[in-house]
Amino acid sequence: MEFGGRYKFGAGRLAVWRALNDAEVLKAVIPGCERIGWTSPTTLDLTVQVSLGPVRPRFSGQLELSDIHPAERYVLTGRGKGGLLGLAQASARITLDDAGDNATILAFTAIGKADSGVMRLGRALIGNSAQKIIDGFFEAIGAQMHTKVEAIADAPSRSGPDVREQ
């Protein structure tokens, strides 16, 4: 499953970067987040209870940052175990660009996959849930920062690194 989006934040890149990497902010904005904390300079451990339609699995896992260029970009890779539902994995490339007037454009592309236990719920259900969570996540980051965040319609794709190349 592939996801993506672009958002304009009414704050500078450094402020957005800091919010994206603040464990307390992340705990407040990740739906169902029960626990999150840095275990190394590039790794977070977390436990999240996710609502996937009729089921609410609890995933415990790890997020790892790579290709880190502070206040510009990084790749975030996550893996979680959801009990009987099995494993879920995702990788996202996140970039921050200046938008002028102390504003930032955050763009991301993500790829997620899950084993057969999760996939029995249906690709459409999981895809819709994931996109809603992602959209809500960025809006909630803006609320935590006390700044406006607006979704930007997809622009024509431009060539560049893809998370699949990682």
> Residue 132 domain-assigned?
yes
pLDDT (tens digit, 0 to 9) for every residue of the chain, 166 residues total? Answer: 777 889 999 999 999 999 999 999 999 998 888 999 999 999 999 998 877 667 777 888 899 999 999 999 999 998 877 665 667 788 999 999 999 999 999 999 988 776 655 544 545 445 556 667 777 889 999 999 999 999 887 644 443 444 444 4
DSSP 11: S
What is the structure's pLDDT at 42?
96
pTM equals 0.78
pLDDT at residue number 71: 96
Q: Does residue 123 sit within a domain?
A: yes
Cα pseudo-dihedral 154, 9, 75, 21, rounded to 10: -160
Domain count, the chain: 1
Torsion of CA 33, 11, 96, 79, to 10 degrees: 0
Question: Distance (Å, rounded) from C-alpha 42 to C-alpha 65?
Answer: 5
Q: CATH number of the domain at 62, please.
A: 3.30.530.20
Sign, Cα dihedral of 5, 135, 26, 7:
positive
Question: Is residue 163 one of the residues assigned to a domain?
Answer: no
